Chain A
Amino acid sequence: MGVVDERAVRVHRLVADEPARPGDGHGVAGRLRRLCTAAGRALSASGAGVSVLAGDGMRGVAAVSEPAYEPLEELQFTLGEGPCLDAVTSRQPVLVPDLADGAMGRWPGYASALHDTGVRAVFAFPLQIGAARLGALDVFRREAGSLTAGELRDALTFADVAVTTLLDGQARAVPGSAADGLEDEVVGQRAELFQAQGMVAVQVGTSLVDALARLRAYAYAEDKPLGDVARDVVARRVSFDGGQS
């Protein structure tokens, strides 16, 4: 739409300005750790974490703002319950401003474990593009209370950035392309991009996540806007099933 997206610019800058630490992993892992730390600070949280779900059922913790939060992220997978898993399943944010209010019944094991470590509120945001589910961003707070409207929008924007970062980590994507104009188009809700994603998934016989990674890699390699590539795919001028284009 050509509107300057100040919120996205600001959130990108917060992540980019977050200093690296000695223990940071390479590439995506390090970027996600900086994202978690920046998100935690911007949202007045005590910690934040990103957990991923891969297409083959593999799941795990991708990054946490502080090492102390790694077991808390991990525990959801061990127990098979928690806001992160619910956010992924329901494809909607799960907002728990007060753990003492109903959460114990919903996640008996996880909620009490969180409470024991001093967490009083937790907010989980799905990392997804339609049916393509990548994982979730969890935000933990030591005081009960809702996120403000502005914080909520910021949190969703951090989730957008996490989606792009994870896509960049896909095998076929080109590392380092996160900060360019692709990000806006990836989550820019362009109908043709999502249609092209479905088409490529069938052409290649792959998941929707991988199909999007291939579309992005192609756009990067051809130096074309992602939206143009999507339009070409939908118009059947470009095909990913080998040979004809």
Chain B
Amino acid sequence: MTTVSPERLATLFVDVADTLVDEFDVVEFLQMLTRRVAGLFDTGEVGLMLADHRDRLTFMAASDESARLMELFQLQYGDGPCLDAFRTARPVTNVNLAAATEKWPGFAPRAALAGFESVHAFPLRLRKQVIGAMGVFGSSTELDDADAQIVQSLADVAVIGLLQERAIRRGEVLTGQLQGALNSRVVIEQAKGIVAQARAVSPDEAFTLIRDFARRNNRRLGEVAGTIVTSLPALPDLGGR
């Protein structure tokens, strides 16, 4: 990306901070963030994972389907840049996938097959605790130190946004909020399954239906998913077909 203009960067931070308002939807927020970070790169896609109280990472949001797959591969095969960033609490930058098969035998070949050439990952940190990681998957994207710092700052902003807490004094607040965030992702997956079955579509198509319905009606993604899972079997008419 080679250092973004200050104007663009300022807009980005304001946009991210602007979501810190009443009607907050954690999954929507993280999706917006991944898209904005991806927008910083010419060809990058971005995915984000959070950890639960037992330090198990879960997929939360991605800028597109390919980035979601990259996150899921890491979880499935137990290796990859996000897992490293999470474990070490340090960014992983400029790793060439062609040379990373030894390091990530499960992830690297599959990511290369999907057309990616290089990866980066950034820990999501709050003080000493690491609560997740954000991965950037691209084609020959070189990050210099200034770039890496910008992306890391955005990751730090994400944590603050995630917590929706003006003053985070105690670890217990963090864990409680995380618990809610992780669970809201589960609700969305359940809603995808319900719509997939009821409409005879794939879970991914179901997600598109849910998301588009939320946008058209100016409703929050989490709220629509919540309606779907609780109003079973009276599924709301999502339209779109």
Contacts and interface: CB of A to CB of B under 8 A. Distances in A.
Interface of A: 1-3, 5, 7-8, 90-93, 95, 97, 126, 128-132, 146-147, 149, 152-153, 156-157, 160, 188-189, 191, 194-203, 205, 207-208, 234
B112 interface: no
13 contacts: A1-B75, A131-B229, A152-B175, A156-B52, A157-B54, A188-B56, A189-B52, A196-B193, A198-B191, A198-B194, A201-B190, A202-B197, A202-B198
B176 interface: yes
Interface of B: 52-59, 72, 75, 78, 83, 170-172, 175-177, 179-180, 182-187, 189-198, 203, 226, 229-230, 232-233
Contacts of A149: 171-172, 175
B190 A156 contact: no
Contacts of A129: 186
B197 A92 contact: no
Contact of B170 (A1, A146, A208): A146
B53 to A, nearest CB: 4
Contacts of B55: 3
B170 A198 contact: no
A95 B53 contact: no
Nearest to A131: B229
A142 B53 CA distance: 25
B88 to A, nearest CB: 14
Contact of B190 (A5, A160, A198): A198
A216 to B, nearest CB: 15
B235 to A, nearest CB: 8
Contacts of A188: 56
Contacts of B184: 91
Contacts of B177: 92
Contacts, number: 128
Nearest to A193: B189
B221 to A, nearest CB: 14
Contact of B175 (A93, A132, A189, A234): A93
Contacts of A156: 52-54, 175, 179
Most buried by A among B75, B176, B187, B193: B193
B182 A208 contact: no
A114 to B, nearest CB: 19
A90 B164 CA distance: 15
A195 B195 CA distance: 9
Nearest to A1: B78
A189 B56 contact: yes
B56 A95 contact: no
Most buried by B among A3, A128, A132, A205: A3
Contacts of B189: 130, 191, 194-195, 198
Nearest to B232: A201
A54 B232 CA distance: 15
A91 B180 contact: yes
B183 A153 contact: no
Contacts of A197: 190, 193
Contacts of A195: 189-190, 192-193, 196, 203
Contacts of A196: 193
B79 to A, nearest CB: 9
Nearest to A7: B54
Contacts of A207: 232
Given A92-B179, A191-B189, A198 B197 contact: yes
A196 B190 CA distance: 8
Given A198-B197, A199-B193, A146 B172 contact: yes
Contacts of A5: 54, 56
A198 B192 contact: yes
B180 A131 contact: no
Given A146-B172, A198-B191, A198-B194, A90 B180 contact: yes
Contacts of A208: 190, 229, 232
B197 A91 contact: no
A222 to B, nearest CB: 20
A135 to B, nearest CB: 15
A5 B56 CA distance: 9
A189 B194 contact: no
Contacts of B54: 5, 7-8, 153, 156-157, 160
Contacts of B56: 1, 3, 5, 188-189
A131 B185 CA distance: 10
A149 to B, nearest CB: 4
